[in-house]
Amino acid sequence: MADSNTNKTLKELEQSYLDGKYDNVKDGLIAVKSDVDLGQFHYNLGTVLAKNSEFGASRYNLEKAKKLGFNYPGLDKNLDSVVKVINSTNPGIARESLLDFAVTSSEGLFLFMSLVLCLIVTLLKKGRVIQKNRTFVILLMMAFVPYIFKKTYVDTSYKIGVNIKGLKIYEGPSDIYPVLKEIGEGQKVIIEKSFEDWMLISSPKQFAGWVKRSELGLL
């Protein structure tokens, strides 16, 4: 819980924000990070970074606030604005829809899907479309496959990252390998695995290759 000194600092930062002193706000927020709600911290930092045209870092912090469950009407609006700016400099990015959906969707969504399948199976049983109890039980168990798949495979095999600044993509996990491509800041990528200080991007396919772990913010 923030103490009175923290509240005073936040009030001063609010005035600095209104005065357009964004660097002061950024430094001040970082100084009081441990004393405020983490979701609120990332939202406020992401918002001020956008004002300072640091769009990669802004997207990371706004995405982080969203993942932490921070509920504020301005969050989606600010995030959409930042993503539009980022995408305007990187047009035509094709994403692997099935992989992106599986990795970026919440665990709760997959649980909901499984419960809907359970409901459908139950209705089929009541309507006597499914007559054997054994078949009914097997189908109920299979209904939870999406949720189990998400929890035991997808979430343990993949991570989501946002590059804070421009990024070099290498052919292998070392800077002795050739650079395959350079991408602008703020791209959301899916990481398949890591090796020491390097991470392998698997999606989007245009960005496939190895990047330095330190240049990605993991969500």
d(C-alpha 209, C-alpha 163), whole Å: 14
User: Any residues with CB less than 8 A from the CB of 100 and at least 6 apart, and which?
Assistant: 190, 203
Q: What is the mean pLDDT of residues 124-150?
A: 89
User: Any residues with CB less than 8 A from the CB of 196 and at least 6 apart, and which?
Assistant: 173
Q: What is the mean pLDDT of residues 109-115?
A: 91
The model's pLDDT over 114-136, given as tens digits with 9 standing for 90+, comes to 999 999 999 988 888 888 889 88
In the chain, domain spans? 4-88, 97-156, 158-218
Q: What fold characterizes domain 4-88?
A: 1.25.40
Of 6 and 24, more confident: 24
Query: Is 2.30.30.40 the CATH number for 158-218?
Result: yes
Question: Which residue, 60, 9, 64, is CA-closest to 32?
Answer: 9
Percentage, residues of the chain above pLDDT 90: 32
Contact 70, 39 (CB under 8 A): yes
- Residue 44, both tokens: 């406020």
d(C-alpha 112, C-alpha 108), whole Å: 6
Question: Which residue, 56, 60, 64, is CA-closest to 39?
Answer: 64
Query: Which residue's entry shows tokens 């991570």?
Result: 159
Range in 98-102, 131-135, 166-170 with the lowest mean pLDDT: 98-102
pLDDT of 204 higher than 60 = yes
